[in-house]
Amino acid sequence: MHPVLTLRNLRFTRGHGFRIELPSLEVAAGERVLLAGPSGCGKSTLLWLIAGLIRAEAGEILVAGDRIDAMGESDRDRVRARRIGMVFQTHQLLPAFTAIENVSMALLAANEPERLHASRSRELLGALGVDRPDARVSELSVGQQQRVAVARAVACRPALVLADEPTASLDPAHADATMTLLEHACRSTGAALLCASHDPAMQARFPRVVEVAALAARKDAA
């Protein structure tokens, strides 16, 4: 059985001396892993590389057995829609659309049968405690919007959920509730969770913590 995520000899650089070099990283099915490190060390960039939103200069990125780094744009879009869920700090929901419509957009992108969109979205939103699924997300509280974002991320039962600083703008109580919700949603769908955070308090929630800066340092010293 292949790992959900495999990175090999990954390299990415951009201006002002920013550089990521990772010799290897694997995430197993259902595993919860935290990418830790200070702001600017490359945690968020690494998630974007894994999602195929930006291209690496070298190395291999396999998601659920598909080598996403070697694909064209349309194939990357297909794998991202079906295999990867994403949760962002700012949610990136469509404010003029209802909660159900926001989740249905993820199902549409993954080419799930249209007749199932509304029922699947409503079922998932209900399970995650969204009590106004027919309301526009702009009319929902921040906490309810977070739940919609999590529902959208796991709607297609992805193999891997990427969470980019999902609690950075929240107070401790809301941060804890958000992470509990995200962890529950991933367990219920069997998805692995790879989360990036600079908050040291997050480390106690994860069975495995990967220091991004430390991995890069080992590569440089080799």
Query: Which domains occur in the chain, in start order?
Result: 5-95+159-221 (3.40.50.300)
pLDDT of residue 220: 41
pLDDT of residue 20: 86
- Residue type at 17? G
pLDDT of residue 221: 37
Q: 117-123, long-range: CB within 8 Å, 24+ apart, which pairs?
A: 120/155, 121/151, 121/155
- Beta-carbon neighbour count of residue 138 at 10 Å? 12
- 55: tokens are 């291209």
pTM here?
0.88
pLDDT of residue 219: 42
pLDDT of residue 100: 96
pLDDT of residue 215: 56
- Unique residue bearing structure tokens 């690494």: 46
Strand partners, 63: 5, 66
Give alpha helix (H) positions in 21-141.
Answer: 43-50, 73-83, 99-109, 117-127
**pLDDT averages per 10-residue partition of the chain, 222 residues:** 88 81 92 90 90 92 92 91 87 92 93 91 90 94 87 92 85 82 90 93 93 58 36
- Unique residue bearing structure tokens 């080992």: 218
DSSP 153-177: HHTT--SEEEEESTTTTS-HHHHHH
- Beta-carbon neighbour count of residue 215 at 10 Å? 23
pLDDT of residue 142: 84
Burial 85-113 (b: 16+ CB within 10 A, else e): bbbbbebebeeebbbbbbbbbbbeebebe
What distance in Å separates the CA atoms of residue 209 and residue 137, rounded to the nearest whole number? 33
pLDDT of residue 88: 82
pLDDT of residue 67: 93
15 CB contacts (<8 Å, ≥6 apart)? none
